[in-house]
A = this chain, B = another copy of it.
Amino acid sequence: MIKLFNNRKDFDYFRNSLTTQSIGLVPTMGNLHKGHISLLEKAIEENDVAIVTIYVNPKQFGPNEDFDKYPRTLDDDIAKISAVALLLDKKKEIVVYAPNTDEGIYPEGFSTNISMGPMTQKLEGAVRPTHFDGVTTVVYRLFTITKAHQAYFGQKDVQQCLIIKKMVHDLEIPIKINIMPIIRNSEGLALSSRNQYLSESERVEALVLPHTLQKIEKLIRTKQDYKTFVYEAKANDKKWDYLEILDSKNLEMPTDKTQEVVIVAAYRMSSARLLDNILVTIASTGK
């Protein structure tokens, strides 16, 4: 069984009843897929109580983005979470906080913005200039509201992960951030709620995204020239918003000290923008 709360007062009353239990947080915008479920499974494995928040955060959508059409599927989400809960150890508990108003997240008159600076303006931030401020602000609120000890995020949104880790470092928020691997469908496409915007033919075409990243990964691993390949891939297909090989620690250009790179890309199709990335450990000899 799971517990479901849709307003702050009831949730707070419950949360304040937890005194000694360890709390793991899985922040989501709902429309759960196997990627989210993998986060939930890890959260419940590592904590006494897992809290899944479901909230489509308006602050992280730009004015011309898909806030209105973003899929809201609370009943399905609850069913999926309940399926996980069926297998639980009796001492464990899954709690869903799905506020039905914005006041469930932001106190009345809220006008605060938490921004992490330059790191929010590149890659996704270059295309979505206010996106990450919306993300850090809502995640900060979720940390405050849930008072979680750990939180779980997906590697698919690698820039988001680094920005959230930076916020936790800078503001010394007492929470551990766990980044879980990308979950893919059988064909290799990284799972995303936005995949459902794709037509059937677009779903096939979208595979160019993971395939290109895999090809670059192979070139890097075998120490072949990947730069020409990336140059040509971008020159020949204008759907790449970006396709870059960066230091996975800070999303800067790799240096001699880089131990791991991330091949990170956004691919813009007519009905959705898709994100993907692959981490590659660099041998200690350098580039």
When distances are taken between beta carbons in the complex, the residues of chain B under 8 Å from A106 are 170
Stretch at the interface among A90-98, A110-118, A237-245: A110-118
Q: Which of A98-140 contact B (CB under 8 A)?
A: 106-107, 109-119, 140
Q: A140-B171, A171-B140, A172-B144 are in contact. Are A166 and B117 (CB under 8 A)?
A: no
> In the complex, what distance in Å separates the CA atom of A144 from the CA atom of B172?
8
B140 touches A110 (CB 8 A): no
Given A140-B171, A144-B172, A171-B140, is A111 in contact with B107 using a C-beta cutoff of 8 Å?
no
A170 nearest CB neighbor, chain B only: B112
Size range of the chain A interface in the assembly: 20 to 34
Task: Report the Cα distance A150→B112, complex, angstroms.
Answer: 21
CB distance from A210 to the nearest CB of B (A): 32
Residue from the list B107, B115, B118 in contact with A170, Cβ < 8 A: B107
Each complex incorporates copies of this chain amounting to: 2
A107 → B minimal CB distance (Å): 6
Distance of A236 from chain B, by nearest CB (Å)? 36
Is A29 at the interface (CB under 8 A from chain B)? no
CB–CB A112/B107 < 8 A: no
Residues of B near A175 (CB, < 8 A) are: none
Least Cβ distance of A251 to chain B in Å?
13
By beta carbon, the residue of chain B nearest A106 is B170
Given A111-B166, A166-B111, decide whether A144 and B117 contact each other with a Cβ distance below 8 A.
no
Q: Is the CB of B115 within 8 A of A144?
A: no
Q: Is A282 an interface residue (CB 8 A)?
A: no
Q: Is A169 an interface residue (CB 8 A)?
A: yes
Would you give the 0/1 interface string for A222-266, flagging 1 where the beta carbon is closer than 8 Å to chain B? 000000000000000000000000000000000000000000000
Please give the distance in Å from A27's CB to the nearest CB on chain B. Answer: 17
